[in-house]
Amino acid sequence: VIRNFLRASLNALFLGATWVPAALSGFGRVKPVYTFFAHTCALVPGGPGDYLRSAYYLLTLLEFHMSSRVSFGSFFAHPEARVGRRVYVGSYCILGSVNIGAGTQIASSVQILSGHHQHERDSVGAVHHGGKFVTVSIGPDCWIGAGSIVMADVGARTTIGAGSIVTRSIPSDAVAVGSPARVIRSREMSSADLALGSQAPKSPAQA
Ligand SMILES: CC(C)(COP(=O)(O)OP(=O)(O)OC[C@H]1O[C@@H](n2cnc3c(N)ncnc32)[C@H](O)[C@@H]1OP(=O)(O)O)[C@@H](O)C(=O)NCCC(=O)NCCS
78-99: per-residue pLDDT in tens?
Answer: 999 999 999 999 999 999 999 9
In the predicted model, is pLDDT for residue 177 greater than 50?
yes
Three-class DSSP category at 100? strand
Decide: 137 and 153 in contact? Cβ < 8 Å: yes
Residue 128: the pLDDT is: 87
50: left (phi over 0), alpha (psi -120 to 50) or beta: alpha
**Ligand 1, residues at Cβ distance < 6 Å:** 107, 145-146, 159, 161-164, 175, 177-178, 184
pLDDT per residue over 107-165, tens digit each?
Answer: 999 999 988 888 888 889 898 887 788 899 999 999 999 999 999 999 999 999 999 99
In this structure, the residue with its CA closest to atom 14 of ligand 1 is: 184
Ligand 1: which residue has its CA nearest to atom 4? 161
Q: How many angstroms is it from 107 CA to the middle of ligand 1?
A: 14
91: nearest Cα among 67, 75, 68, 113:
75
Per-residue confidence band for 191, with pLDDT thresholds at 50, 70 and 90:
low
